[in-house]
Copies of this chain bind each other. A is one copy, B any other.
Amino acid sequence: MTSLRHNGPDQTDSPRDGYLDAARDCILDVGWRRTTLTEVARRAGVSRMTIYRTWADMPTLLGDLMTREWAGVVAATVAGEDPAAPTLDRLVADVVGTVRALRENELFVRIVELDPELLLPYLLSRRGRSQDAILALTEGQVREGQVDGTIRAGNPVAIARGLLLAAHGFVLSAHTMVDDHVSEDELDAELTVLLSRTLTP
């Protein structure tokens, strides 16, 4: 798939983005555990101190990198939607599109392959910044759809969180459910039915 790291001209404008690009390349090459701030500095062509001034340690850098990456995935999906479509249809297309894009994102795939334990805190302990950003976006669309009558009534925060919980499995585990009996497209069609029916008034 195409890298999502360069979504627009201003994506790599700042030196900080260049350092994150270097970290991303390093993680894709050797995995998270073998990526050090020293190696990130070497790849970015700057001194170790320059990187240390921006991030005290690799977990902090990783948090920023993941936040940028997943925000890019969501932004690219939302940018592809039909602005004239009803709110319900846009929300469903956004969720299904984001699920597919995350599942195919090269950084996500590499983390799942080499360092899956990095995902555990965001599943078991606390929401990450990207999850909160996605929830805020979803909640806003639910409220909008409730106003224009395309989405059912109910606590929009609970509805948005329920959708995110339902989507988690389709991102992380869909491939464990694909074999001769069921294709990935069939599962995504199930997700579309699930979301549309859950949200319809």
Contact = CB atoms under 8 A, between A and B. Distances in A.
A176 B127 CA distance: 6
Q: Assembly of this chain: how many copies?
A: 2
Interface of A: 112, 116-117, 120, 122-127, 155, 157-159, 161-162, 164-170, 172-174, 176-177, 181-182, 186-187, 189-191, 193-194, 197-198, 200
Given A117-B117, A162-B187, 5 more contacts: A116-B124, A127-B177, A158-B189, A164-B169, A165-B174
Interface of A is mostly: helix
6 contacts: A122-B176, A127-B176, A158-B181, A162-B191, A168-B168, A198-B198
Contacts of A124: 112, 116, 172-173, 176
A158 B186 contact: yes
